[in-house]
Every structure is written in C-alpha cells, then in structure tokens.
Structure 1
Amino acid sequence: MESPVAQRIRELIVEGTLAPGTRVAEAAIAERLGVSRTPVRNALPALAMEGLLEPAGKRGWAVRGFSVEDSFRGTEIRCLLEGYAARELAARPDRGPVVAELRDCLAEGDAIFAKGHVVKEDEEAYGRMNRRFHDTINSGARDPLLSDLIHRVYAVPFVAPAVVAFNRVPLEEIFPILVSGHHQHHAIVDAIEAGQPDVAETLMRGHSSPARRSLGLDKLPEIALPDV
C-alpha cells in the first residue's frame, strides 16, 4: 500500500517544486512534510521504481529529468504490451482463478465509484486497485519475458498503473475519465472470461486513452510536468 508521504513527494515533483536534478534529502523532505525521516526513507526507493528519482551519490537520490512525451509514449507502449498479456491470458484454459481475482478488482472499483464522485482520499485506493488489476493480467499470462518488459516500461515516469495524479486534474473532471476506464476494465475481463483473445487484446490496447487523460497527458500545453 502506498503511503501518503510517497503521494506528496510525487506531487512536489509533478508540480515542479522539486525540479529535475534536485537532490532529494531525507531530512529536508521530512521537515517540509512535517513527518519523521522513516516514511520518507521508505518512499524514495518506490518513487525511484516509478522513474521519478535516480541514484545520486552514495545512497542518495535526485529528481530524474523527463518529458511529457516520455510519459505519453510510455503509456502507449505499456498498453500494447499489456494487450498481448490479455490476449495470452484469454487463450489459457486455466484462466478461471485469474478471472475471479479480476472480478474482485472490478468490485473494488465499483465500490469506489458508487457514490457518483471521487474525493482526494480515493486516490490511494484506486491506484492500489488499478495496479492489482493490471498486475493480475500480466502475471496471469505466465510469460516471464513479457512481464519483465512491462515492468521495464513502468520505470518511465507516470506509466505505472498505480500512479494516479488527482492533483493534476480537477476531481469533477477526473471522475468520468476514471469511470470510463473502469468500464473498459469490465469489458476486458468479459472478453478474457469468454475466451476471446482478439477482443481482449484490442480493448487493452485502447486502454491508454483514459490512462493518459487521468494524468492530464492529453493536455500537453496545459500541464506543468518537468520537461527537460
């Protein structure tokens, strides 16, 4: 489960408060956020896995330089690879248990959206559910090489499915975007369960649009992601 500290550090990077190349010191970040150094220390490696930080010196971190286009293209490539994973899973005769786990993810998402809107506190729950959904499909394909390639793409900033940036898009705008993406989740699972590899792959490949829109990546001139 992602910590609020990791979310807040990510926001500082996205907002440009922590600019590319900035050294990220545990003590300074802890003081800024009003927390102890321990949750900061735990959050930094996870943010490095997302591609937001890179090693700097001995056991240190710095904000990684990247462009909006990197994230845009990375999301496209992620969905192409995950489309193949969905295809392989849909063709497996033993996919039943995986489908059951995916249905559980759908129920979790349905519960988040049942109230007809989202609040800031939903960010962690949705990101966790979305990561679990995509990880379940990727692992369910049982293709180690494909899984490795997908996780390599996750290292591009804002490409990993657990990343949701509620601070970049107004909540009233992000709600229909996320609901649309979750409807796609339902259709993808239906195709996998029905044993329709072509349909499952096509739907997953098309899943990049709501992913980009939920991060504001479809509004390139309007957002302030670090661009170097």
Structure 2
Amino acid sequence: MATSARRERGTSPRRERGTSQSLKALLGIRELVFSGEVGPGVRLSEVTLSGRLGISRTPIRAALAQLDQEGVVEAIPSGGYTVRSFTQVDVADAIELRGALEGVAARIAAERGVPAARLQTMHSLLAELDHVVADPKRTDFAVYIARNGEFHDLLHTLSGSETIRRELERVMRLPFAAPNAFITAQAEMPEIRVSLLVAQAQHRAIVNAIEMREGARAEAIAREHARLARTNLDVMIEDTKLINKVPGLSLISG
C-alpha cells in the first residue's frame, strides 16, 4: 500500500530518505545556531556538522546554502560559512515585516469572510490560550508556545491566499521573526510575563475583527501585536543576565 501510494505521488523511498535527511540537517543546524551552541563568527565545517548531527555531508551542504539565503549564516571568501550576528535593527525589521504580512492576511480574511468552522477552530485555540495565561506566575510555556504557534499558523491561512501564506512562511524563517522567538525570555523575566496577557487580548481582538468583517481594524491590531515582540526585545537586550538563557540572544548585538 505504501509503495503504491509513493508510486502515485511520483516519489521513491530513496527520494523520501533524501528529503528527510535534508530537513533534519536544516533543523539541526538552525537549532545549534539559535540555541547559542554555535556563536557568531564561528565557522561551520561540513565535516564537523556531519559528525555532530549524524548526517552525510551532501544534505549538510544544501542546508548551509539554504540558511545562507535565509540570512542565518554567510559565505566566506575562503569557502564555507560562518554564523551571522544581528543588530537590534535587523531583528526589529524582521518582526515588523512579519507583522505587516500578518496584518494583510487578517485584513483580507475579514474582507473575504471566513467559514464558520474555521472561526470555531480559532475560538477553541483562544479558549486554550486563555487557560494557559490565566495566571502569569504559573504559565506553562511549552503549552503556550504550541498553541500560539497554531494560532499564527491558522491566521496565515484564513484569507485563502496561497501567495500570502507562502510569503509568510518565507518571512517566518528570518532570524527571530517567528511569534514564539522570545517566549522563553518571558519565563525568565517576571516583569514582562504580563505581556502574555496583552498578547492574548490582541489575539481575541484580531479574531473578533475578522469575524465582524472589519478589515482595517484586523490589520492594525495584527501589526500592533507584532510590535509587542519588538518591545519585549528591547527589554531583554538590556538584561545581560539573559544572554545565556534565551536561545539566540547571544547573536544579537546592540
């Protein structure tokens, strides 16, 4: 049955293994970089990465080329790649771009209308998030990250536009652009945990605006929602104690 299905899709076991290895290499190198295990300016050796991740050099090479396109690493004249560092402006621009596209996605969803079943899914996610953030001092951040990711993934598809979904997928690969990029810091900094309550209020307002077919309002709130991440970034950068606790924060310079 599986062999027949692969035949119908025009794939082969060898090709599927190759795709799996390429994805494993891409995710593995990203994790090494954003966890802070590999710092800015460090040269990434195909041989070393291959041994560390247990993957052959061919998918490692392809993954490094992909990360170069995404701006996570940069090619060096002597060959190979090094880990990039980012300024606060770089990160702020990436967050702003994500907010702009999410705003467009929300506006078009409101203008075109969203099926009741999909809106119900959004409301179910909102209810789960309400429960998670009810007590900021006891937030289960693993659950929050999962549900927040689901919320934004669904928001990206509500307009029905494959073009918008594809461009948002591209933007989400930019360093620190994803909605969950700095969630870990909120666990480390009680003074900004309250921002989860603000974010959840914005989630509800976005869904309400879409439901009420208020496109301009939906777009404005989605943009403001992204700017909340920029505010938290500024707070985190000033706290030097977080440099080794928040994934990727060591890559950001002043």
Fold shared by both chains (TM-score > 0.5): yes
Aligned residue for 1:12? Answer: 36
Aligned residue for 1:180? Answer: 198
- Say if 1:89 and 1:95, in contact at 8 Å, map to a contact too: no
- Ranges in structure 2 where 5+ consecutive residues have no aligned partner: 1-26, 241-249
CA displacement 1:23-46 (0-9 Å, x = unmatched): 274588x7xxxxx969xx9xxx7x
Select the structure of larger CA radius of gyration.
2
Residues 142/20 of structure 1: CA separation in 2 closer, same or farther (3 Å cut): farther
Q: How many residues align?
A: 209
Residues 107/139 of structure 1: CA separation in 2 closer, same or farther (3 Å cut): same
Residues 116/155 of structure 1: CA separation in 2 closer, same or farther (3 Å cut): closer
Aligned residue for 1:204? Answer: 222
- Say if 1:20 and 1:63, in contact at 8 Å, map to a contact too: yes
CA distance in 2, matches of 1:76, 1:54: 21
Aligned residue for 1:213? Answer: 231
Q: 1:111 aligns with which of 122, 131, 142?
A: 131
CA displacement 1:77-117 (0-9 Å, x = unmatched): 11111111001111223432221121122122112112332
Aligned residue for 2:181? Answer: 163
CA distance in 1, matches of 2:75, 2:143: 31
- Ranges in structure 1 where 5+ consecutive residues have no aligned partner: 31-35
CA distance in 1, matches of 2:190, 2:32: 21
Residues 8/23 of structure 1: CA separation in 2 closer, same or farther (3 Å cut): closer
Aligned residue for 1:227? Answer: 253
Aligned residue for 2:110? Answer: 90
Structure with the higher fraction of residues in helix conformation: 2
- Length-normalised TM-score, structure 1: 0.72
Residues 168/106 of structure 1: CA separation in 2 closer, same or farther (3 Å cut): closer
Q: CA deviation at 1:63?
A: 2.7
- Say if 1:23 and 1:56, in contact at 8 Å, map to a contact too: no
CA distance in 2, matches of 1:69, 1:225: 13
Matched, 1:101 2:121: yes
Aligned residue for 1:33? Answer: none
CA distance in 1, matches of 2:170, 2:96: 14
CA distance in 2, matches of 1:23, 1:124: 30
Deviates more, 1:103-112 or 1:182-191: 103-112
CA distance in 1, matches of 2:85, 2:161: 32
Structure having greater relative contact order (Cα 8 Å, sep ≥ 6): 1
CA distance in 1, matches of 2:88, 2:138: 25
User: Percent identity between the aligned chains?
Assistant: 25
- Say if 2:186 and 2:193, in contact at 8 Å, map to a contact too: no
- Aligned letter for 2:122? L
- Aligned letter for 1:116? P
- Aligned letter for 1:106? L
Q: CA deviation at 1:195?
A: 1.4
- Say if 2:41 and 2:84, in contact at 8 Å, map to a contact too: yes
- Say if 2:209 and 2:215, in contact at 8 Å, map to a contact too: yes
CA distance in 1, matches of 2:72, 2:227: 25
